[in-house]
């Protein structure tokens, strides 16, 4: 009946629309008598709205036949999928061949490119920093350079995704990057040979007075494993370490499993995070395994409005478990889980399938993690731009368990200062660690030995949220 109803609308593209209708039917399509019985229990479940389908077929028919330029049926159907998913929420998306490949490269932390971290600055593509040892660093690209052309293609009006697709490529291939540099009138043309780029998501440095500074830039597939190995090695090298600073500022998130492994490294037991969705496989508890590899050292976690998703999972778990003091400003507030579902060999959909909750049952969706100690950055940006959070995004999923945030009052913040010694928030964190009488209420009982602890293994892997910076 459904297929016949569609064909009777008079649409000339009946075959394509018949395919849409049949694909839209539940996999366990029932005969009319069974549907009638099912309808008694659940009036709307499993049934498609015929009038809306007729409206769709009419619109499709007009676009197909009357649009100023001819568009193939395959392209129109792909547009329909994109539009359907894009209207759900800011983080669900249809991933075409290029976007799917870019996602896989981003989460793996290894790809062919030039090794630049770039961001948008007033409509221009600006170099944040060349990665250490990368082709860009060796060629002389500097932080603050404005990319104006890539292989003679103007970057005016282009976004980060456009630039990423051009800059990435196979090892050994060349690209010409034209940049504008402060103090130089004419643009500089720099020829770069692409190489395999390995993004290092975990960096650990020793600060004065035996404190370790740990920076996680993004949660990639191997971040949890790398974090545990590097922290254990750093503690062996610095046996007199008195405290730890975990910097998650401007970390856009990433792989869920990696965030669970990082939080688990500081916990002996208990819940790390749990997710809830409509399907059974979306309802998962992630628990810590025995052993705190830091042996209960005092811990401060730095967050700001750029800390999202996986970063908030770590901060929320350590806060609820009273294992760390959270300092900085309110986090972004992305409390949803995206599952990447392949629909062909080279295409996929990134679909929001669940919300995650901290151990105490808090949903941070459109709310964020509120720090224990609010600490504003005093190195404010010259233009004093207001930060964007989840609650500012059009179509965001509201937090049903709390009052929406006042979007008119946002934290004013900068990206993390590369020079740690000049970073006021890091210095304040060190001072807090020195005040052991404050941290004594949060730290667990220290152990003399550092036990060996495997990471948790029962997590799924969502894609990171949209960030205002990317690696190429």
Q: Tell me the pLDDT tens digit for each residue of 417-426.
A: 346 767 889 9
Tell me the domain boundaries of the chain.
2-87, 110-198, 202-471
Distance CA 319, CA 57 (A): 52
Tell whether domain 202-471 is in CATH 3.40.50.150.
no
| Catalytic residue chosen out of the listed positions 178, 201, 307, 309 | 309
Tell whether the model's pLDDT for residue 171 goes beyond 70: yes
Residue 443: per-residue pLDDT: 52
| Catalytic residue chosen out of the listed positions 320, 372, 411, 423 | 320
Those residues with Cβ within 8 angstroms of residue 421's Cβ, 6 or more apart along the chain or in another chain:
427
What is the helix (H) or strand (E) element at residue 82, kind and residue range?
helix 73-86
Q: What mean pLDDT do residues 165-176 have?
A: 92
Is this model's pTM higher than 0.75 or not?
no
Q: What are phi and psi of 167, to 5 degrees?
A: -75, -30
Nearest alpha carbon to residue 438 among 288, 307, 326, 293: 326
Residue 396: per-residue pLDDT: 78
121: pLDDT confidence band, cut at 50, 70 and 90? Answer: confident
CATH number listed for the domain at residues 110-198? 2.30.42.10
How many other CB atoms are there within 10 angstroms of residue 167's CB atom? Answer: 25
CA atoms within 13 Å, Cβ hemisphere of 111:
23
Distance CA 420, CA 425 (A): 9
Distance CA 373, CA 166 (A): 43
Distance CA 29, CA 8 (A): 21
Distance CA 185, CA 439 (A): 53
Burial of 151 (0-12, 13-18, 19+ CB in 10 A): exposed
Give rounded-to-5 percent helix, strand, coil for the chain.
30, 20, 45
Would you say 408 and 223 are in contact if contact means Cβ atoms under 8 Å apart?
A: no
Q: Tell me the pLDDT tens digit for each residue of 191-240.
A: 999 998 877 889 999 997 789 999 998 899 999 999 999 999 999 999 99
Average pLDDT in the chain: 80
Most confident of 122-131, 137-146, 155-164, 273-282: 273-282
Tell whether the model's pLDDT for residue 107 goes beyond 70: yes
CA angle 4, 69, 154 (to 5 degrees): 130
Would you say 113 and 471 are in contact if contact means Cβ atoms under 8 Å apart?
A: yes
142 is catalytic: no
27 is catalytic: no
Rg of the chain in Å (alpha carbons): 25
Pull the structure tokens for residue 65: 């036949």
Q: Which residue has the higher pLDDT, 68 or 102?
A: 68
| Catalytic residue chosen out of the listed positions 334, 367, 453, 469 | 334
469 is catalytic: no
Eight-state DSSP code of residue 363: B
């Amino acid at each position: 009946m459904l297929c016949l109803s569609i064909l009777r609308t008079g649409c000339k593209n009946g075959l394509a629309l018949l395919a849409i209708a049949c694909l839209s039917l539940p996999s366990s399509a029932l005969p009319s008598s069974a549907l009638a019985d099912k309808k008694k229990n659940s009036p709307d479940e499993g049934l498609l709205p015929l009038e809306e389908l007729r409206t769709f077929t009419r619109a499709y028919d007009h676009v197909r036949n009357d649009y100023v330029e001819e568009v193939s049926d395959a392209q129109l159907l792909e547009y329909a999928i994109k539009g359907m998913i894009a209207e759900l929420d800011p983080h669900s998306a249809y991933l075409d061949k290029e976007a799917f490949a870019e996602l896989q490269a981003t989460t793996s932390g290894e790809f062919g490119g030039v090794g630049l971290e770039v961001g948008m600055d007033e409509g221009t593509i600006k170099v944040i920093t060349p990665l250490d040892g990368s082709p860009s660093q060796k060629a002389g690209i500097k932080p603050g350079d404005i990319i104006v052309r890539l292989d003679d293609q103007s970057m005016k009006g282009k976004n980060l995704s456009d630039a990423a697709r051009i800059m990435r490529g196979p090892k050994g291939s060349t690209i010409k990057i034209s940049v504008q540099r402060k103090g130089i009138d004419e643009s500089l043309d720099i020829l770069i040979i692409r190489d395999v780029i390995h993004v290092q998501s975990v960096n650990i440095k020793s600060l004065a007075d035996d404190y370790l500074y740990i920076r996680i830039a993004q949660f990639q597939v191997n971040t949890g494993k790398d974090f545990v190995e590097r922290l254990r090695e750093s503690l062996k090298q610095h046996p007199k370490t008195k405290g730890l600073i975990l910097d998650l500022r401007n970390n856009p998130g990433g792989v869920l499993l990696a965030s669970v492994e990082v939080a688990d490294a500081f916990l002996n037991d208990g819940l790390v995070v749990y997710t809830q969705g409509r399907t059974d496989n979306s309802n998962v508890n992630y628990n810590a395994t025995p052993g705190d590899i830091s042996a209960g050292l005092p811990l401060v976690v730095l967050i700001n409005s750029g800390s999202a998703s996986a970063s908030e999972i770590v901060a929320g778990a350590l806060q609820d478990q009273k294992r760390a003091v959270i300092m900085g400003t309110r986090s972004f507030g992305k409390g949803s889980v995206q599952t990447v579902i392949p629909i062909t060999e080279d295409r996929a959909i990134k679909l929001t399938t669940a919300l995650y909750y901290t151990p105490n049952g808090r949903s941070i969706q459109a709310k964020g993690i509120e720090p224990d100690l609010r600490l504003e950055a005093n190195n404010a940006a010259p233009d004093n731009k207001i930060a964007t959070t989840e609650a500012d995004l059009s179509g965001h999923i509201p937090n049903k368990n709390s009052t929406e945030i006042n979007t008119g009052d946002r934290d004013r913040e900068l990206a993390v200062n590369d020079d740690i010694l000049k970073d006021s928030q890091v210095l304040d964190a060190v001072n807090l660690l020195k005040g052991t009488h404050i941290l004594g209420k949060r730290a667990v009982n220290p152990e003399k030995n550092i036990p060996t602890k495997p990471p948790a293994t029962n997590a799924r892997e969502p894609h990171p949220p949209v960030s205002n910076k990317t690696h190429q």
